Amino acid sequence: MDMEMLTIDPKHMTSHAFDRKADPEWAALADYLREAAAAGAVVRLTARPETLTPAQAAARLGMSRSTIARRIKSGEIAAVRVGTHYRIPAREFERFRDAVMGAMISDVSADLEADLYGR
């Protein structure tokens, strides 16, 4: 994702109404911008894709880190190299997780069907 950095001068922001309880993230951002305006600061926002380390992905899937590393090496999981480390984009993790869970469900369904119906 190539996104330019967004620079905001808080003194040029107008007040927008929102429900602070329903939108706590917006409330925190608005408070931060107000504090920056009071300090005479400029705020820069950047966006980056959410990523997981192989260890984080392994923990979420109940697998070992080495299993995830093997899956990355085989191309089963698309990962980005950051220096000497790999990062797995969140969407890629979700795709892989859904594929693994789908395969497990299929396997278990076939076993259950065989046990119940003798097939």
Q: What is the CATH number of the domain that holds 96?
A: 1.10.1660.10
d(CA 50, CA 92): 10
Average pLDDT over residues 31-51: 83
Q: Do 80 and 33 belong to one domain?
A: no
- Residue 1 in any domain: the answer is no
Enclosing domain of residue 94: 51-117
Give the side-chain half-sphere CA count within 13 A for 38.
6
Q: What is the mean pLDDT of residues 62-81?
A: 96
Mean pLDDT, range 65-71, rounded to an integer = 97
pLDDT at 32: 85
Percent of the chain with pLDDT over 90: 44
Q: Which of 8, 77, 11, 73 is nearest to 45 (CA)?
A: 8
Q: Does residue 96 form part of some domain?
A: yes
Instruction: Say if 41 falls within a structural domain.
Output: yes
Do 18 and 75 lie in one domain? The reply is no
CA 89 vs CA 7, 11, 77, 79: distances in Å: 26, 36, 10, 7
Residues 71 and 113 in one domain: yes
Please state the domain count of the chain. 2
Give the number of other CB atoms < 10 A from CB of residue 91.
12
Reading the block at residue 71, the tokens are 């899956």
Are residue 112 and residue 64 in the same domain, yes or no?
yes
Residue 26 shares a structural domain with residue 76: no
Place of tokens 């899956």: 71
Q: Edge to edge, what strands does the sheet with 51-52 contain?
A: 51-52, 85-89, 80-82
Same domain, 56 and 77: yes
